[in-house]
A and B are shown apart, each in its own frame.
Chain A
């Protein structure tokens, strides 16, 4: 397509944002700020404390009886009024927004309460009793494939929900002919770009029309509107979805609000009141949405001089507990650019999607890019290492050459424009790579740990709505009908006073769309920016929109701004025709400048824009014959380049492909393992730049999130499915202190496929930066198996040699712990008592003794000879909770050994544990030896992990101390105290 020429000089300038005055004075209108009807009630959600459990009963009586409570609903109640949400692959599986008979991740909704206010709604949550039968959980995607792995969805019979293999070119031949085969295996962790504003929904239901009206801080894509309507069992025109004027950030995450749109809509229907739900931060971290974690094995066929001739990808994608729309899109968004910035003709891909007991995944800035580039760019570095080549030379040798654009990739992508080598060369020169290399040499000469990393990536933007159908086989696709395109929608309207309003379906979350659209349209119409007003709210009942509408896949500048320019140009052409008659010139001589329409050759011959523009309203009869109205023009724009997948599975998954080349220098502190980013250079070719300040803002923001992903952020799970990073004190978002400033460079090659020549820029650093930092760390330490985030503790494993043992054996049993982050506690101890084995044995079987020795027990009831039920209050410091506990005895060998198994359930979470008790006769009585394993889940595990380890140990310790006391012995010897006493004695000093 031919690019639009521009004249007014507004596009490309860093103008002040029209959004800012309101936002800076506290006058933003975010979802929680909007006025609501006076009778609006508030929704709170009871969530699963278990990673995997059956629900045997839910008792809501007490919650319903609480004053102020309007309605309480369970999964069964919701299911009666809805249908399962659409799943994007062919699989015998349902996907509900609330658990029905089984919970599959910590945080999964279990019950809904609607009450007069949020405080009361949360009071009611505390009163709901749920009986869970815990099931074994599976967290690791590879273990989820094992034959004996717990299966999340019995109807599916397996956790492998989709598998496809692809072959492009002749990869087998290329591998057979290769001088070298280099492979790498990576595991990309779970993280999220976590906006500071959480989800929010305000829902109403009109029973007279069987119609829902929902306002949510949803970000698109509006293909999800179809999923919501279907789930609510209404046609699309009875599901009105609106967005608030302002949104507090999204980065993809707010696509994931849609299951809550369904829940709030049902809650409004059941309670016959408007219902408002604002997600809290614990809910957000635990259960909103996460990027996918992925295990990838990538192998390259490489010539002797470092040319890559083939790639073989094996990707295992973990989408969490449910495959929620549009997943498995994360795995397919990059399908057209699986060869990155490189010209590689042969590709084999095996894609598998697995379900595990974790939060379902969804959109997240970079969407699929961080995962593939982490593998690809780590591999390129490794090729350099193995072939003794500079990794930068490997990159350079393989880049798509400048004369090849538009370049069709092996997998079907069409790289629109670029000069990758020139951009790379400019980056190394202007970014002073030579100086950085000297710095590395100097640092290493001093024995410091310093490394340099590189990353070259293409940043896809404007998604082809058909790419996700690549997950279907060609036969399945043929049956379902082709899907493709990327409809962008923009409306330019003129009111009776001749002022201009722009309306787009772009749903910004802080990116300044209103400013850029004012720039673009004002420039096209020869107006000052403040003469154009832009509205970016979306109302599906009133506005022009389509499935691709929304704010994702970096589509604003290339697609939406372009559509607005096209709409302005259509109006412009008509205004020129009208003005031409008034000016008595031909339309092609009419120019638009400074609020007037004038004769290009005789500027004095002019008429005001407002006068011409308003003619359609006031005097339509005066318009020249054949001139359509100038009141409102809506443009639907979809690029021809975005076609459905071919029969051979070729897919141009995105319209535009920006280029990024990053390099950085990092230094690692030998003692603390802390990674310091010394220098970071990022070169971007995002096509034509519409607003340099905003482009740099996108780069810096993405970079900061990528620093988080590289060094700090991870959604961590325990082996039992417990969620371990439920607060912002555990999920670590970088502050200003942890965020260095990158040097940002630009190289502009306009896209030939977009109206303004712009490409997307918002997501690139989320793709390039994590691996660039990882490569630098690998370079500094000479290690290969880099796992993110590179926490100091993790890095230190490469730094510290064998640990210095204590000078004498510890007379305490060190507490054994599982892999870092496992919420399993194990420990052991012993106590000497004067009672005989037989009497200790009898105590263990006596409810009265148990009541005395179980910490916090109010009541112990004997259910059977080997089963006791207790009500206990457990607490540490200010944290106290009441729990129901079940204790069972098994493997009994009277009076020698017995196994105590227990489980507790309460508002703060749940615990279960097993203790093996051995009684040994001694000269003075009995020695009680115990070993235990305990696991704790639920809220306390998510928000107070540190606290919890201590609490569990205290409680278990108290139990056996009490048992020992009861049986006539002292407390178990405190090993630590003994050690300190000896130490003090050693130096003969006292404090």
Chain B
């Protein structure tokens, strides 16, 4: 269980990194914290020809407030965002999600953007980003672009990231006054990828429920009020729409039931927080 060989580049500027990625095409990959990539290297599931280590690019290591967004650079470790002093005020959904996210030891190294790039359909950070309606800043040698989170995740570990591109930052909309947020998940063990994870937002636009672990990417849906006649039908239809599957950890039916029950509870909690 040792990685296949690869070239390694530790660029000092973003431009240098982008040039290398452009040159490497599909065979070059960014490495940041390595917590998702290195297991795949060790198992030789991933065999890039070049790794570009972006953790020395100071410009990417910032958490900034920009208007009504919190912008998290590609070099920001999960533990750094978790310890960010105003996290609870500005990103209460993430504050609730972090304890579910791996373990202290992996959050210490893993980056926020690395988890987004990995696009595991059960992962907490992609779910949070999609639920909050955030966005991803991508950049290649020639241009920058910004993609809505919902468009960024296109399938199982598949994203809109093109060859030669890297994630520069992710944008989390700041919590608005009078909004409620909640995060819950059911996994087999503490710290495991979720069987089903739910993130909920209650605000003046109504209720939104994000669901991970069922479809091949995190999904978010608007829902009617909890006491609306249509609520049960709606959440039930959402559960059915997610293309749930059996695997060794849970049946498709179990996942649908969790969407119904955990989804409702998470929305309830978000509504309570709002009030």
Contacts and interface: CB of A to CB of B under 8 A. Distances in A.
B248 interface: yes
A158 interface: no
Interface in A767-809: 791-793, 796-797, 800, 803-808
Contact of A980 (B44, B192, B241, B252): B241
Interface stretch (B8-16, B139-147, B150-158, B267-275): B150-158
Interface centre among A725, A791, A907 (most CB of B within 10 A): A791
Nearest to B215: A976
Contact of A878 (B45, B133, B224, B237): B45
Contact of A951 (B3, B156, B186, B220): B156
Contacts of B61: none
Given A282-B43, A734-B189, A735-B191, A945 B248 contact: yes
Nearest to B48: A878
Interface string B187-225: 011111101000000000110100000011000111110
Contacts of B193: 729
A791 to B, nearest CB: 7
- For the complex of A and B, 9 pairs with smallest distance between CB atoms: A877-B157, A950-B156, A737-B190, A280-B1, A793-B250, A878-B46, A793-B254, A806-B240, A817-B246
13 contacts: A712-B188, A725-B248, A792-B188, A800-B253, A803-B257, A817-B252, A820-B246, A876-B156, A879-B40, A880-B46, A946-B121, A947-B156, A991-B150
Contacts of B188: 712, 732, 791-792
B156 A803 contact: no
Contacts of A877: 118-119, 156-158
A958 to B, nearest CB: 11
A814 interface: yes
Interface in A931-947: 939-940, 943-947
Given A806-B236, A878-B29, A947-B156, A672 B220 contact: no
B249 A878 contact: no
Contacts of A815: 243, 245
A712 B254 contact: no
Given A791-B188, A908-B45, 13 more contacts: A119-B5, A672-B261, A674-B186, A737-B189, A800-B253, A805-B240, A806-B240, A812-B243, A818-B246, A876-B155, A950-B216, A983-B222, A983-B238
A422 interface: no
B193 to A, nearest CB: 7
B101 interface: no
A803 B253 contact: yes
Contacts of B262: 671-672
Nearest to A820: B246
A677 to B, nearest CB: 14
A793 B236 contact: no
B62 interface: no
B149 to A, nearest CB: 10
B177 interface: no
A116 interface: no
Contact of A803 (B221, B256, B258): B256
B189 A735 contact: yes
B205 A123 contact: no
B254 A732 contact: no
A876 B237 contact: no
A807 B236 contact: yes
A949 interface: yes
B86 interface: no
Contacts of B251: 793, 796-797, 820
Interface centre among A878, A881, A944 (most CB of B within 10 A): A878
Contacts of B252: 817
A861 B264 CA distance: 55
Interface of A: 118-119, 122-123, 126, 280-283, 671-674, 712, 714, 716, 724-725, 729-730, 732, 734-735, 737-738, 791-793, 796-797, 800, 803-808, 810, 812, 814-815, 817-822, 876-881, 907-908, 939-940, 943-947, 949-951, 954, 976, 979-980, 983-984, 986-987, 989, 991
B2 A122 contact: yes
A12 B161 CA distance: 65
A945 B245 contact: no
Nearest to B133: A991
A916 to B, nearest CB: 22
Contacts of B241: 806, 810, 976, 979-980, 983
A944 B248 CA distance: 12
Contact of B222 (A804, A810, A907, A991): A991
B156 A943 contact: no
A649 B251 CA distance: 46
Interface in B94-153: 118-119, 121-122, 133, 150
Nearest to B260: A804
Nearest to A717: B248
B7 interface: no
A800 B255 CA distance: 12
A983 B230 CA distance: 12
Nearest to B258: A672
B266 to A, nearest CB: 12
Contacts of B43: 282, 939, 943
A126 B233 CA distance: 52
A821 B45 contact: no
B162 interface: no
A878 B240 contact: no
A876 B158 contact: yes
Nearest to A44: B2
Contacts of B46: 878-880
Contacts of B87: none
A975 to B, nearest CB: 9
Contacts of A880: 46-47
Given A950-B216, A976-B241, A738 B208 contact: no
B157 A821 contact: no
Contact of B248 (A730, A806, A907, A980): A730
A792 B256 contact: no
A730 to B, nearest CB: 6
Contacts of A122: 1-2, 4, 44
A119 to B, nearest CB: 5
B247 interface: yes
B189 A907 contact: no
A949 B44 contact: no
A880 B40 CA distance: 10
Contacts of A807: 233, 236-237
A878 B236 contact: no
B129 to A, nearest CB: 13
Nearest to A799: B257
A122 B5 CA distance: 11
B37 interface: yes
Contacts of B119: 877
Interface centre among B3, B216, B261 (most CB of A within 10 A): B216
A796 B251 CA distance: 10
A878 B238 contact: no
A672 B4 contact: no
A950 B155 contact: yes
A878 B27 CA distance: 9
A810 B244 CA distance: 13
Given A806-B237, A878-B40, A791 B249 contact: yes
B234 to A, nearest CB: 8
A253 B251 CA distance: 31
A281 B1 contact: yes
Interface in B43-92: 43-48
Contacts of A946: 121-122, 156, 247
B222 A796 contact: no
Nearest to A882: B47
A940 B40 CA distance: 11
Nearest to A725: B248
B261 A671 contact: yes
A722 B167 CA distance: 36
Contacts of A881: 45
B189 A732 contact: yes
B246 A821 contact: yes
